[in-house]
Amino acid sequence: MTMHLLPAYFTSTRTAKSKSTTVKKMTAHDQWLMKRGLHPSQIAAKKRQVGEYKNDLPDYSLDRDSGKLGNSVGNGFARGIMTNLHKERPEVQREIMLKASRCMPLFNKGGYAYATPETDMTTVGSKSRRG
């Protein structure tokens, strides 16, 4: 009969011989833990001595007397120039629209940027950003 056909409890590894070295190693380790006060028995004794645990977290309970809350953000949402364009004077509106018409991708696969009046419009959008 070969070993692979036997049940699991018929094993060739002998664990009985290694128990003595394990005990020796554990006693040395337990002594090391005892010196530092980290042995499980010492930790269990400390827990019993401490007594009742007091929670140091602040009180996050709700104060219902704070009044009504609104549905909007306190400082408002960041809005673009175009949302309030109708409130501006006509000459300011023209300048805003002129600048807005000059926002375009200045190079291939690039983001939108402001094209200055000196920008050559024949090469806009076809150049590489590296030159």
In angstroms, the first-to-last Cα distance of the chain is 79
pLDDT for res 92: 93
pLDDT for res 95: 92
Residue pLDDT tens, the chain, 131 long? 566 677 777 767 665 666 677 888 899 999 999 999 999 999 888 876 656 666 677 777 776 666 666 666 666 666 677 888 888 999 999 999 998 888 888 888 888 888 888 888 888 877 766 65
Domain boundaries of the chain, sorted by first residue: 80-131
With vertex at residue 102, the alpha carbon angle to CA 98 and CA 105, rounded to the nearest 5 degrees, is 160
How many C-beta atoms surround the C-beta of residue 17 within 10 A?
A: 8
pLDDT for res 49: 60
